[in-house]
Amino acid sequence: MTKTIGVGLIGTGYMGKCHALAWNAVKPVFGIEVTPRLAVLAEVDANLAKSRAAALGFAKATADWRTLIADPAVEVVSITTPNQFHAEMAIAALEAGKHVWCEKPMATTLDDAARMKAAAAKSGRVAMLGYNYIQNPAIRHIARLLDEGAIGQISHIRAEMDEDYMADLDAPFYWKSAASSGYGALDDFGVHPLSLIQTLVGDLSRVMAHQAKPFADRPARDGGRQPVENWDIASVLFETRTGVSGVMALNRAAWGRKGRIVLQIFGSRGSILYDQERMNEFQLYQASDRPGEQGYRTILTAPQHPPYDQFIPAPGHGLGFNELKIIECRQLLHLIAGESAVAVDFDAGFEIERTVHAMAQSDREARWVDLE
C-alpha cells in the first residue's frame, strides 16, 4: 500500500508556484515512498484558485484559506502569501493539527513571530520556514568543510546580499517603499544571509546597524513625489555567540546585482567564498597547499555533494534555484517522519527575526544592541 501525504497550498505567486513545483517533484527526484497528494489550493479569488489548481495539479480549489486548513485531506500546509498573513494562517494551521511549511520571513512584527513560535511548540507539529538557500549542496558541503576544520578556526565572516529591484529611480512608489512593508532591505531579504550565517557559523550575539535610503522620494502614482518610508540599504557590524566578528551588507537598489548573496568565511587555515549568482560553485583556499601553488579552488558541485546526486549523476551540470525548494521539501518530509534534517524551524526562525529587529533598533538608537 502506498503512503501519501495530503498537501494544501495557500498562495500561488512567486513562492507559491515554487512550492507547487517542489511538491510535484520531490517524490520522483528522491525516489521516496511517500506520495504527496495535492489536495487543496487556496487563492484570493475562486476563479483564479480553480485555474491555478488545474495548472499546478491540485484536486480542489478554494477562495477561503480556512476551508483549506479545515479540510481533513490536508495534512501539511504550504503558506506562501504576503508576509502580514503568515502568522494568522500558520497559527490556525498548527492549531488544526497540520504541519506547516511557511515562507520566510515569519511575520512583520516580532510579536507575531513569537506567537507563531509558541503555536508550533504547543502543536507538536512540524513548523518549517522556507529558507531555501541553505539547501544548496554547495552550502551543505561548506558546512561539512567548516565542521571538519578544513579552514581551521573561523575568524571572520562577511555576507552581502544585493538585488536591483528597487534601483530604478524613476519607478513609481509602490508598497515595498511604505513603512507598513517593514524596514526595507533588512527584513525584506537580510533574513536570507542571516539564515546562511546561522547555519554555517551560528547565531549572533550583538549587532550595530546602519540603514540608508538611496532615494529620499519616488514618483507618486498621482504625479508629484512621495517620500520613501524605509531603507533600501542596510549595513551591519556583528559578532557571533562563538566570538566571530563579521559584516553584513544589504542593498536592494544595487544596479547589476540580480540574486547576489556573497559569503566570505575566513579561518586560521584557509578561507571559503560563495556567490549565489553562481550557485553551482564555491571556492576554497587552504594554507596547507604547497607554497607557489596556493590559490582559491573553484569547485563545481557534483555527486560528491549530496543531495546533488539525487538530481544528476554527472558533476558540474548544475542545479537551479527552484531545485533548492525541492531539497527543502525533502527536509520537511524528513521532519514529518521524525528524521533529522537541515531546516530552519520556527525556533531558529524566531532567532533570525529577533536579530533583524535588534538591527533596526541598533540603527534607531545608533548603538550596539546585545542579543544574548
Residue 150 beta carbon to its own copies: minimum distance, rounded to whole angstroms: 8
Q: Which CB atom, from 289 or from 347, has the smaller least distance to its own copies?
A: 289
Q: Which three cell numbers stand for residue 312?
A: 544528476
Smallest distance, Å, CB 372 to its own copies?
16
When the beta carbons of 1 and 72 are compared against its own copies, the nearer one is 1
Min. distance of Cβ 340 from its own copies in angstroms?
Answer: 21
Nearer to its own copies, 56 or 100 (CB): 56
- The burial of 1, by beta-carbon neighbours within 10 Å (0-12 exposed, 13-18 middle, 19 or more buried), is given as exposed
Q: Which is nearer to its own copies, 63 or 312 (CB)?
A: 312
Nearer Cβ to its own copies (247/337): 247
Burial 254-293 (b: 16+ CB within 10 A, else e): beebebbbbbbbbbeebbbbbbbeebbbbbbbbeeeeeee
- Is the Cβ–Cβ distance between 105 and 356 less than 8 Å? yes
Q: How far is the CB of 164 from its own copies (least distance, A)?
A: 8
Minimum CB distance to its own copies smaller for 129 or for 299: 299
Please give the grid coordinates belonging to residue 119.
Answer: 503555536
Count Cα neighbours of 59 within 13 Å in the Cβ-side half-sphere. Answer: 12
Question: Shortest distance, CB of residue 104 to its own copies, whole angstroms?
Answer: 15
Q: How far is the CB of 52 from its own copies (least distance, A)?
A: 8
Q: How far is the CB of 344 from its own copies (least distance, A)?
A: 19
Shortest approach of its own copies to residue 12 CB, angstroms? 10
Cβ-contact 119, 91 below 8 angstroms: yes
List phi, psi (to 5°) of 101: -125, 100
The SS3 of residue 81 is coil
Angstrom distance (rounded) from CA 250 to CA 185 = 6
Nearest by Cα to 98 from 65, 118, 62, 70: 70
Of residues 124 and 292, the one with the C-beta less far from its own copies: 292
Specify the residue, 125 or 140, whose C-beta has the smaller distance to its own copies.
Answer: 140
**Per-position DSSP letters for 251-283, written without gaps between them:** ETT-TT-SSEEEEEEEESSEEEEEEGGGTTEEE
DSSP lists the bridge partners of residue 108 as: none
Nearest distance, CB of residue 264 and its own copies, angstroms: 8
- How far from 46 is each of 18, 41, 216, CA to CA, in Å? 21, 10, 40
User: Between the CA of residue 97 and those of 11, 93, 94, 128, what are the distances in Å?
Assistant: 20, 6, 5, 14
What dihedral angle (degrees, nearest 10) is formed by the CA atoms of 215, 217, 232, 235? Answer: 60
DSSP state for residue 289 in the 8-state scheme: S
- Of 20 and 194, which CB lies nearer to its own copies in the complex structure? 20
